[in-house]
């Protein structure tokens, strides 16, 4: 092989080795950052205002009961003909995926407070396989639910007019997002979970990652 060809081969192989070494270094740095908890802190979207609602055991639950815990929340109603069953299955998957040592809570608000009494919520929770020590179902006065859902958690809920309903149970338009709140009652994550192009498993992974990050204090 002449010297020019040998030099060309050296440059090709040297370039390939440099690319491989760069990729390996980037991977190792990412692993080190992850292990050291150096992920970028989650943004703060707002502060959750104090509230008192009622759980499925007909007992009051207030913000003070959730302080010190990371929690994920959504808004549903039990006779929903639309996305609520899918959202509840997703919340069940979060419940199953959280490690036993995690102190995180899950919260489902109802937007149909007139129908979703504590007894109705209890039946719904049992059917969903909810661990009610971790997963709270909350009802209460409509104004109190709206204040928490809309003003603090940035969840939409709007009652449909009778002429807009396509079925008897087509009662509300509401958010299909999950939100995550930190131990200091700050809104830190907003995650779409339903809709065209949404990968529910990827959404779940993002929510779990946010919960883990906040439980590490970031």
185-213: average pLDDT: 89
113-133: average pLDDT: 96
pLDDT at position 184 over 80 = yes
Counted domains in the chain: 2
Confidence at residue 106, expressed as pLDDT on a 0 to 100 scale:
98
Whether the CB-CB separation of 183 and 67 falls below 8 Å is answered with yes
pLDDT at position 210 over 50 = yes
Are 114 and 181 within one domain? Answer: yes
Q: CA-CA distance, 90 to 96, in Å (whole number)?
A: 10
Interval 44-76: pLDDT, tens: 999 999 999 999 999 999 999 999 999 999 999
Confidence at residue 135, expressed as pLDDT on a 0 to 100 scale:
98
Are 143 and 195 within one domain? Answer: yes
Q: What is the pTM of this model?
A: 0.78
With a pLDDT cut of 90, the percent of the chain lying above it is 61
Confidence at residue 166, expressed as pLDDT on a 0 to 100 scale:
74
Confidence at residue 4, expressed as pLDDT on a 0 to 100 scale:
56
Domain that holds residue 20: 1-38
Phi and psi angles of residue 123, each rounded to the nearest 5 degrees, phi first: -60, -45
pLDDT at position 140 over 60 = yes
pLDDT at position 3 over 80 = no
Are 34 and 123 within one domain? Answer: no
Are 189 and 106 within one domain? Answer: yes
Whether the CB-CB separation of 45 and 188 falls below 8 Å is answered with yes
Are 1 and 82 within one domain? Answer: no
Are 120 and 191 within one domain? Answer: yes
Alpha carbon separation from 7 to 14, 17, 18, 19, 91 (Å, rounded)? 10, 15, 16, 18, 60
């Amino acid at each position: 092989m002449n010297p020019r060809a040998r030099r060309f081969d050296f440059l090709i192989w040297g370039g390939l080795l440099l690319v491989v070494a760069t990729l390996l270094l980037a991977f190792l740095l990412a692993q080190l950052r992850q292990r050291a908890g150096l992920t970028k802190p989650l943004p703060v979207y707002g502060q959750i205002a104090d509230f008192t609602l009622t759980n499925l055991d007909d007992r009051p639950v207030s913000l003070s009961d959730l302080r010190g815990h990371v929690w994920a929340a959504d808004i549903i109603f039990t006779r929903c003909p639309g996305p609520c069953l899918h959202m509840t299955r997703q919340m069940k998957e979060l419940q199953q995926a959280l490690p036993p040592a995690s102190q995180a809570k899950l919260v489902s608000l109802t937007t149909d407070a007139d129908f979703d009494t504590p007894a109705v919520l209890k039946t719904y929770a049992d059917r969903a396989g909810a661990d009610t020590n971790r997963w709270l179902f909350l009802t209460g006065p409509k104004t109190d639910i709206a204040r928490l859902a809309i003003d603090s958690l940035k969840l939409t809920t709007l009652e449909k007019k009778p002429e807009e309903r396509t079925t008897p149970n087509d009662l509300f338009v509401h958010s299909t997002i999950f939100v995550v709140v930190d131990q200091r009652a700050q809104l830190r994550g907003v995650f779409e979970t339903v809709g065209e192009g949404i990968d529910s498993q990827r959404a779940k992974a993002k929510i779990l990652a946010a919960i883990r990050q906040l439980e590490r204090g970031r």
